[in-house]
């Protein structure tokens, strides 16, 4: 899967699972700082990402202190 | 002790959202009890209710927050916003440490809980929303309202079955009277139109099974009474000291004169048939209000439409008011939209305030054959009466008795 495709899928998953608008997403910002994501929301995001990419992602691998760009790297390495 | 004023009304009910729409339907005596359409309830012995159809239309709550909260918190957020606007309060200008929230409910957030429990058994642990942990419990609306407005003062959630919200208002009144806070959002909310909550209400055995005639099903104090009908909604008010309300030029809807609450101490489900402790609660509220029974010119009835409950309530009123119990206008407007359980007392209080403001007592509908030895029931149509002091009665399972007295501001 291409990086751009992974990023789009992550964006779509975060928008859908958090109920935020696409324009609110900031690729470089930590989810906690840029969107105010709390711990319960992060559980929702991690489960949704696992389903979207059909791979097991743990709450320790992807946290609210990660940026979207960092999550792209984490998932890209898992898929490869 | 400071006198406490009610300066803002927020109502979210089957009869209307916002006090104008709500009052227009209440004074007209229109029924909003219908067959439940939200889920297939056809196999339940009672499958009728007062439901809110267009909550989203009145909502100021973001999609992101809506994903995390149950309907009862959503209703509480809308009712709080309506109450604050009605009171002309800019919450940003208040000292957040001196604002409180006192809310009551009986069931908690079952719509959210049921959905997530189903997902847990079907999909396993990963199927359960992490928001479940903070969405279902009875104090969730208190938490959500406090977070939404940044309220940080002493607050309480009261769970006392159907008396919950009147108890919350009584407790709020006491707290404000002692000068502990500047302002309180007080009332209650309930969302019982869900499969499991409806099942529990059915197994309790008090619901009307007159599914063929929903508008005629809830008939308190009528000879053909068949039990009550559930309803959903929220009633939340702004309470503050009369001195503060007067100083800021607020529209004072009513003043709280007195409150009392006690228990029958007899049975976990049925109340005392003679209403002995309810009578004592009313008498104590009158003493607390420094009022005489002859001062009361309207009684808002609890009216569960179950023989032992209605008989006990009537007996208590007769014990307190003697011969005048045949003269004081009394009604049970919730016959139009259902019993909002833990939120019922707050809604009854809002109706009483609107009745006081408009000098118009809304009716008990479906009261075609009242007991001739009963009370002075206002039935079928609203009736003009000046109200200076009114009594609101709210009761709950386990023999909980609450009585609140309000008066017009002089």
- Quick check: A19 and B64 CB within 8 A? yes
Label residue B205 by pLDDT band (50, 70, 90).
confident
The answer, yes or no, to whether residue B129 has pLDDT greater than 90, is no
ipTM score assigned to the predicted complex: 0.75
H-only helix segments in B55-212: 63-66, 71-87, 110-123, 132-135, 140-149, 164-177, 195-204
The pLDDT score that the predictor gives to residue A49 is 95
Q: What is the pLDDT of residue B279?
A: 98
Smallest CA-to-CA distance from B14 within B195, B310, B214 is with B214
Q: Which residues in chain B have Cβ-Cβ distances shorter than 8 Å to A43? A: 130
Beta carbons within 8 Å of B344's beta carbon, 6+ residues apart: B162, B165, B188, B190, B302, B334, B394
| Angle CA B279–B328–B296, to nearest 5 | 65
Closest-CA residue to B394 (of B342, B328, B337)? B342
pLDDT-derived band at B87, boundaries 50, 70, 90: very high
> For residue A17, what are the domain limits?
3-79
Checking if the pLDDT of A44 tops 80, the result is: yes
CATH class of residue range B4-247:
alpha beta
Confidence of residue B134 (pLDDT cuts 50, 70, 90): confident
Fold of B257-407: Peroxisomal Thiolase; Chain A, domain 1 (3.40.47)
For B221-270, the pLDDT digits (tens) are 999 999 999 999 999 999 999 999 999 999 999 999 999 999 999 988 88
Between CA B44 and CA B41 the distance in angstroms is: 6
Distance from first CA to last CA of chain B, Å, rounded? 18
Q: Domain locations in chain B?
A: 4-247, 257-407
Residue B98: count other Cβ atoms within 10 Å of its Cβ: 16
Q: Is B384 on the interface with A (CB under 8 A)?
A: no
Asked if pLDDT for residue B126 goes beyond 80, the answer is: no
Distance, first Cα to last Cα, chain A = 9
Question: pLDDT > 90: what percent of chain B?
Answer: 89
**Interface touch A44/B126, C-beta < 8 Å:** no
Across residues A29-33, what is the average pLDDT? Answer: 92
pLDDT tens string B262-298: 999 998 888 999 999 999 999 999 999 999 999 999 9
Among A19, A43, A50, beta carbon nearest to B130: A43
Six token digits for residue B318: 């007769």
Q: Considering its fold, how many domains does chain A have in total? A: 1
Q: What is the CATH number of the domain that holds A42?
A: 1.10.1200.10
d(CA B165, CA B342) in angstroms, rounded, equals 6
Residue A15 touches partner B, C-beta closer than 8 Å: no
Question: β-strand B230-231 against B48-50: which pairing, if any?
Answer: parallel
Region A51-72: mean pLDDT is 93
Query: Cα(B118)–Cα(B121) distance, rounded to whole angstroms?
Result: 5
**pLDDT tens across B62-74, in order?**
999 999 999 999 9
Provide the pLDDT confidence category of residue B410 given band limits of 50, 70 and 90: confident
User: What are the E-state strand segments in chain A?
Assistant: none
Q: B69, B125, B130, B143: which to substitute to probe chain A, counting the most A Cβ within 10 Å?
A: B130
Nearest residue of chain A to residue B134 (CA atoms): A40
Q: Does A10 touch chain B (CB under 8 A)?
A: no
């Amino acid at each position: 899967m291409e990086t751009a495709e992974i990023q789009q899928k992550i964006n779509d998953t975060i928008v859908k699972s958090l109920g935020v608008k696409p324009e609110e997403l900031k690729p470089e910002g930590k989810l906690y700082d840029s969107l105010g994501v709390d711990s319960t929301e992060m559980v929702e995001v991690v489960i949704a990402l696992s389903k979207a990419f059909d791979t097991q992602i743990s709450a320790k691998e992807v946290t609210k202190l990660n940026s979207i760009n960092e999550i792209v790297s984490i998932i890209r390495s898992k898929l490869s | 002790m400071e006198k406490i004023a009610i300066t803002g009304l927020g109502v979210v009910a089957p009869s209307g959202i916002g006090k104008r729409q709500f009052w227009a339907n209440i004074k007209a005596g229109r029924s909003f009890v219908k067959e439940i359409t939200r889920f297939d309830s056809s196999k339940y012995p009672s499958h009728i209710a007062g439901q809110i159809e267009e909550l989203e239309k009145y909502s100021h709550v973001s999609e992101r927050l809506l994903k995390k909260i149950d309907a009862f918190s959503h209703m509480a957020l809308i009712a709080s916003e309506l109450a604050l606007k009605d009171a002309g309060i800019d919450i940003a200008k208040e000292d957040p440490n001196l604002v409180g929230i006192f809310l009551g409910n009986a069931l908690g957030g079952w719509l959210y809980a049921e959905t997530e429990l189903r997902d847990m058994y079907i999909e396993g642990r990963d199927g359960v929303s992490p928001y479940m942990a903070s969405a279902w419990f009875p104090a969730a609306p208190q938490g959500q309202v406090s977070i939404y407005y940044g309220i940080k003062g002493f607050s309480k959630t009261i769970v006392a079955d159907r008396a919950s919200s009147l108890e919350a208002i009584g407790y709020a009144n006491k707290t404000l009277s002692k000068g502990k806070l500047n302002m309180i959002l007080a009332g209650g909310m309930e969302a019982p139109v869900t499969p499991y909550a409806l099942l529990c209400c059915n197994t309790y055995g008090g619901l009307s099974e007159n599914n063929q005639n929903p508008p005629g099903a809830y008939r308190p104090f009528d000879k053909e009474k068949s039990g009550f009908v559930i309803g959903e909604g929220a009633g939340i008010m702004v309470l503050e000291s009369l001195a503060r309300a007067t100083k800021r030029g607020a529209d004072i809807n009513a003043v709280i004169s007195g409150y009392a609450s006690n228990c029958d101490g007899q049975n976990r489900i049925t109340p005392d048939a003679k209403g002995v402790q309810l009578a004592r609660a009313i008498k104590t509220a009158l003493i607390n209000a420094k009022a005489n029974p002859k001062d009361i010119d309207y009684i808002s009835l609890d009216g569960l439409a179950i023989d032992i409950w209605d008989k006990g309530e009537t007996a208590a009123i007769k014990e307190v008011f003697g011969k005048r119990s045949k003269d004081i206008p009394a009604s049970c407007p919730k016959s139009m939209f259902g019993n909002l359980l833990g939120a019922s007392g707050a809604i009854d209080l809002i109706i009483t305030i609107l009745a006081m403001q408009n000098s118009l007592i809304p009716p008990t509908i479906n009261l075609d054959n009242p007991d001739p030895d009963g009370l002075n029931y206002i039935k079928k149509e609203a009736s003009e009466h000046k109200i200076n002091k009114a009594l609101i009665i709210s009761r709950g399972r386990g023999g909980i008795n609450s009585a609140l007295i309000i008066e017009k501001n002089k």
